[in-house]
Amino acid sequence: MRDFFYQTNAGDMDFKFTKEYGLVWTMKAPLGQDILTVADPKALQHIFHKSGYGYEVNAEKLVTRLMLLGPSILSASSGPGHSRHRKVMTPAFSAPQLRSFLPLFHRHAAKMCRVLKEETLQGSTASGHLIAVNKLLSRTTLDVIGESAFHCDLGALDNSKSEVSQAYDNMFVKARINPSIMDSIFRATWKFIPLRLLEHVKYLPMRQYSEFHNTRKVVDKVAGALVDQAIHDARSVEIEKGKKDVMSVLVRANMSENPSLQLSKEEMMAQIGALILAGHETASNTLTWMLWELAKNPHFQDSLRAEIRDKREELSVRDTSGGADFSIDDLETMPLLKAFLKEVLRFHPIVYHLVRVATKDDVIPFSKPVTTTHGDVIDEIAIGKGQTLLISVCTYNRIKKIWGEDADEFNPMRFIDGTVKHEFRVGMYSNLMTFGAGLRGCIGWRFALIEMQAIIVALIENFEFSIPPKEHNVEIVRKSLGVMSPMIKGRYNEGVLMPLAVKAL
């Protein structure tokens, strides 16, 4: 299990085992535990949709999230607790609220392009200037989440090192890479230990726990002031004239709830860490994989750039002032852009595993029969309360019956030519599992889609991306560091890194 969770290329062992055993198999974990690994679409539909809160986050993930984030929506340990968080947070992610963020996304994307253009002018060659694009994207998405979520200027693009940006810088690399065997065994005992005792794990003098604890202290310090300001603003101004950032909307929604359903100040503060983590790390990593695929597929990059230019010409006809930017409708009516976004989310799921524990005895159905080691052919499996399930998101996203015979290849055209078949409703967006599914699915997935579209359009319109020349000896691998991140093989000490040749147009 330790090798499985920390693969050199995240997902490779999943794909290997799928070819050998199908879409459901069991593995031995520390202390003799059996882990049921699931990628079957009918089984996932049952687990995430039909069972409600019948499958919860396991103790290891829960304690890790509590260490890093505190009592946020991502750390809610029960169905009622999670439902209370989600009810208060939903107004902050309504369609009108998200549409209002688009100008902000465009503004930060334009600023990012100015910064990148300056970098490309330094030592530029015919093939472009070699730039670690992931670092620029990380700074951009951090500034975006700062302003849109908290009405706060974190100054990451201006190279002003805020406490928050310093705390998150390569935090997952420091905390998660190359864990010891003893730590893997220690974590396996957590399911037997009361949560009130596990909350003290953060004080252990071990790298993986101290990094999370130190980051949490920094975020809590900033979060306390932000929540106090949002509460003050909500009480002192009329609601319709209030700030539109996520935290302000969340505070107003919380104040309007029945006191028994309201979130505490500590829970409100924890949402800030959750929003930074979910809205910053995941978006920047996905955008990084987008640029990687564009660099590897120059012909598709050219086609996508042509589509964007055509849409820009349409916009110039509608708005002769030249001051308008793409609307939500403009972004949604670019078929290559949408297909590209879906394919990157399918091929590079940032969270490639989800872990769940059954809260009661259950029977999980399969869409495709499985042959057991005893030779029995079964189309369902009975499990007991407490059974741990490993959901292989990356495997589900590559099932050939759903995504086509070339599911192991990167091909955005599958979403245009009718290749994709959906027999079972599972994922939140285009049936992909990348944003999770069901009641615990990502609440901010629409926010992420709009943000990523605005940023990638600006980049493609202004720059050309290509893979580094061979003499740089860059081999990119997919490392699991909490999220699936790019690193250079043999150069892990340099942290998350995606160098690409960039040329301004």
Mean pLDDT of 462-481: 90
* Contact yes or no for 389/38 (Cβ under 8 A): yes
What's the rounded mean pLDDT across residues 390-413? Answer: 96
pLDDT of residue 174 exceeding 60, the answer is: no
In this predicted structure, what is the pLDDT of residue 240? 47
Which residues, at least 6 apart from 231, have a Cβ–Cβ distance to it below 8 Å? 251, 255
Per-residue confidence band for 239, with pLDDT thresholds at 50, 70 and 90:
very low
The domains of the chain, with CATH numbers, are 2-504 (1.10.630.10)
- What does the longest C-alpha to C-alpha distance in the chain come to? 73
Across 19-52, b (16+ Cβ under 10 Å) vs e yields eeeebbbeeebeeeeebbbbbbbbbbbbbbeebe
Residue bearing the bigger pLDDT, 288 or 483:
288
Kindly state the average pLDDT of the residues 62-66.
85
Does residue 100 sit in helix, strand or coil? Answer: coil
Q: How far is CA 288 from CA 37, 280, 345, 385, 430, in A?
A: 28, 12, 12, 40, 21
CA distance 98 to 446: 8
CA distance 462 to 89: 36
To the nearest 5 percent, what fractions of the chain are helix, strand and coil?
55, 15, 30
Distance CA 467, CA 449 (A): 25
Mean pLDDT of all residues in the chain? Answer: 87
Integer-rounded Cα radius of gyration of the chain: 23
How many percent of the chain have pLDDT more than 70? 93
pLDDT (average), residues 78-99: 87
Residue 154 has pLDDT above 70, yes or no: yes
Give the range among 64-78, 128-142, 306-320, 338-352 with minimum mean pLDDT. 64-78
pLDDT of residue 349 exceeding 90, the answer is: yes
Distance CA 441, CA 312 (A): 34
Strand 377-383 relative to strand 362-371: parallel, antiparallel, unpaired?
A: antiparallel
Mean pLDDT in residue range 37-55: 95
Q: Is the pLDDT of residue 440 over 70?
A: yes
Of 392 and 186, more confident: 392
With H, G, I as helix, E, B as strand and everything else as coil, classify residue 279: helix
Structure confidence at residue 169 (pLDDT): 63
Burial letters for 123-133: b for 16+ Cβ neighbours within 10 Å, e otherwise?
A: eeeeebbbbbb
